[in-house]
Every structure is written in structure tokens, then in C-alpha cells.
Amino acid sequence: MKTTKNRRYARLFFSYLIIAFFVGIIAYPLLWTVGASFNPGNSLISTSMFPENPTLDHYRELFAGKKSLPYGTWYLNSLKISLFTMIGTVISVSLTGYAFSRFRFKGRKNGLTLFLLLQMIPQFSALVAIFVLAQLLGLVNSHVLLILLYIGGQIPMNTYLMKGYMDTIPYDLDESARIDGASHTKIFIDIILPLSKPMIAVAAMNGFTGPLGDFVISSTILRKTEAYTLPIGLYNLVNDVMGASYTTFAAGAILISLPVAIIFILLQKNFVSGLTAGGTKG
């Protein structure tokens, strides 16, 4: 009995040890970035994780309104693109997921397979085609094109997850509603969508965070400083060899996480359960 108890404590100890190790790996760069954002100067060489003389100068510099550093404009651009991408992703993925889950049509299985294959293709492989398309349509520096590209990129995997989640919703609910005279639209809006809130939260989170972390596609489409998103603007901030400011970059990077944290808090109730529920059925 005592041996079994000791083994249990040993397994628990090693479990916590492994968790602490991975938490440390994740938390260390984050804490270093936070410390760097409050450290005086521009170089990371003299930066410590916990600065001796913390300052808010780098945060003030971001919103000082300098033409060379329109951080507020970049921030608003990123929020606008992320919000519209999130809305477009939720609408399109809900519709496609419902179609694949509730309807039987020719090419249904092949369509799902194609979605998975498209998700495996790296985005940068289509950069030339995207840029040529933007030029032909006259949409270089257009946020509209960028939003459409982001929504299109979110559809394949999120549709597969949404379809898998909707498969777990009993078909008896659909049949009962049809007996009462409900149309497919009413069933979708009044029954399926309310029951799919966890997976909708996952799709919304993916749609919002995707544009905030993208540099490759946005830098291909956006060429004017006032049209930049945060990843492009911050990259140029540290790419300037003569005036690179890594500590200001750290402050800007920390502020990017605030909208993500707010969205996560708002969606937290459904987000966690949605992560574990998608793709349960093929």
C-alpha cells in the first residue's frame, strides 16, 4: 500500500516537473519581452529581464504621433482586418460546415479531402499569384483583398472542425423541427448555430489571431506605410540598421497581445470545450 502511494506521489511530482519545464519555456521569452519594453535604451544587449530603472518612454513613443512611426494607424489597421476576418470566417465556416454535415451531395467527401490538402499547402507558395492578382485587380495596398485572402485561408481547416462538431448534434432535432414546418434556414439559425457555440468560438479565435501574426501575405499586398499592419510596421522598426529600436519593438509587440487576450476572455467559456470537440466524426 505504501509502495503504491509512493509511486503515485512520484508520478505526480514528475508530472508537475514536466509541466513547469514547458511553462518556463513558454513564459521566459514573454517575460523577457515585457522586461525589455520597460528598459531604457534601444538595445537588447544591455536589457535584463527585470529592468532596474523601468520606464514607459517606449510606450509613449509608440503613440507620439511621429510620421516615421504611425503605430496607432498600424494598430487600427490590424484590428480592422482581424475583426472583419473573424466575422467573415465565422459566417463562411458555419455555412460550409452545416452544408457538409447535414446535406449529402456529389463530391462531398472529395471536397472535405480537398480542404485538408489545401490546408497543407504553405501560404508563401502562392505569393507570386497573389501579387499578380492584386496588380490586375488594382488592389495593391487594399485591406479588402487582404481580408478576403485571410478568410479564404481560414475556411479549409475550420470547415473540417465545424463539420465534425455539427455531426455530434443529433439529427433528431432537425427531423422534429421539419415536422413542425421549419425550413433548413430556420433549423440552421435557431437550432444548429446555438448548439455550435463552442466551435464558433474556436473559428472566431482563429480568424482573429491569424491576421495579427501574419507578415508574409500582408507584406506582399501592402506597400504604403499608412496601410501597414502591425507585423510589417514592427518589422521595419527593427530592420532599420541605423535606427533599430528593439525595446520599442518589444513594447509594440506586447500591445499586440492585448486584443487577443480580450477576445480570449470573451470567448473562454466556449473556446476550451470547442477545442476538444471538433473533428470527432469524419
Confidence of residue 279 (pLDDT cuts 50, 70, 90): very low
User: In the prediction, which pLDDT does 271 show?
Assistant: 64
**Percent of the chain at pLDDT above 90?**
22
Nine cell digits for residue 117: 490538402
Chain centroid to CA 132: 26
Tell the burial category of 256 from Cβ atoms under 10 Å away from its Cβ (0-12, 13-18, 19+).
Answer: middle
Taking the domain 64-275, which CATH number applies? 1.10.3720.10
pLDDT in tens, 3-46: 777 778 778 888 888 999 998 888 888 888 888 888 887 766 65
**Long-range contacts (CB closer than 8 Å, 24 or more residues apart) made by 110-117:** 112/159, 112/160, 112/163, 112/282, 115/155, 115/156, 115/157, 115/159, 115/160, 116/156, 116/157, 116/160
Of the listed ranges 158-162, 196-200, 205-209, 273-277, the least confidently predicted one is 273-277
Chain centroid to CA 28: 22
Confidence of residue 47 (pLDDT cuts 50, 70, 90): low
pTM above 0.75, yes or no: yes
Nine cell digits for residue 231: 507585423
The C-alpha atoms of residue 105 and residue 116 are separated, in whole angstroms, by 18
Nine cell digits for residue 28: 521566459
User: In the prediction, which pLDDT does 48 show?
Assistant: 64
The C-alpha atoms of residue 157 and residue 150 are separated, in whole angstroms, by 13
Confidence of residue 148 (pLDDT cuts 50, 70, 90): very high
User: In the prediction, which pLDDT does 282 show?
Assistant: 44
Confidence of residue 79 (pLDDT cuts 50, 70, 90): very high
